[in-house]
């Protein structure tokens, strides 16, 4: 149980385009989902916390107008990188917290590798 999927697993796009990444909890309901970014040889950095039915909470230094988050249902959150630039190239990982489980346990998706040319 507690499977989280992400789509796409890999995306290459041109500078200036927008990219949407989906995060789904497959066998549980997630009231809260998290979006992280991981650069090579660096730790996971929390970008934003996404709560179903409400606006996402962004970490300091993360531009909310650039990284649009939508959490429309208990099983789906999306991250849209708008007007992507090469410096946005990174590994984006989502995680989900089970609405019925331990409030502190997060289950991670497999990640999406974004390359902006």
Partner 1 sequence: QKEVEQDPGPLSVPEGAIVSLNCTYSNSAFQYFMWYRQYSRKGPELLMYTYSSGNKEDGRFTAQVDKSSKYISLFIRDSQPSDSATYLCAMNSGGYQKVTFGIGTKLQVIP
In whole angstroms, how close is the CB of 46 to partner 1 at the nearest point? Answer: 6
If one asks whether residue 108 binds partner 1 (CB under 8 A), the answer comes out as yes
In whole angstroms, how close is the CB of 10 to partner 1 at the nearest point? Answer: 9
Question: Going residue by residue from 14 to 53, which x/- string records binding to partner 1, judged by CB under 8 A?
Answer: ------------------x--------xxxx-x--x----
Choosing from 15, 83, 103, 115, the residue that interacts with partner 1 (CB under 8 A) is 103
Task: Tell me the backbone φ, ψ of residue 25, rounded to 5 degrees.
Answer: -95, 120
Long-range contacts at 82-86 (CB < 8 A, ≥ 24 apart): 82/18, 83/16, 83/17, 83/18, 84/13, 84/15, 84/16, 84/17, 84/18, 84/19, 84/114, 84/116, 85/15, 85/16, 85/116, 86/15, 86/116, 86/117
Q: Which residues bind partner 1 (CB under 8 A)?
A: 4, 6, 32, 41-44, 46, 49, 91, 93, 95, 102-111, 113
């Amino acid at each position: 149980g507690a499977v989280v999927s992400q789509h796409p697993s890999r995306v290459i796009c041109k500078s200036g385009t927008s990219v949407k990444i989906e995060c789904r909890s497959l066998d549980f309901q997630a009231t809260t989902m998290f979006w992280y970014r991981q650069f090579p040889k660096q730790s996971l950095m929390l970008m934003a916390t996404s709560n179903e039915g409400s606006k996402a909470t962004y970490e300091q230094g993360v531009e909310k107008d650039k990284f649009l988050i939508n959490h429309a249902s208990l099983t789906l959150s999306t991250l849209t990188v708008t007007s992507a630039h090469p410096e946005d190239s990174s590994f984006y990982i989502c995680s989900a917290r089970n609405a019925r489980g331990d409030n502190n346990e997060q289950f991670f998706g497999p990640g999406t590798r974004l390359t902006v040319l």
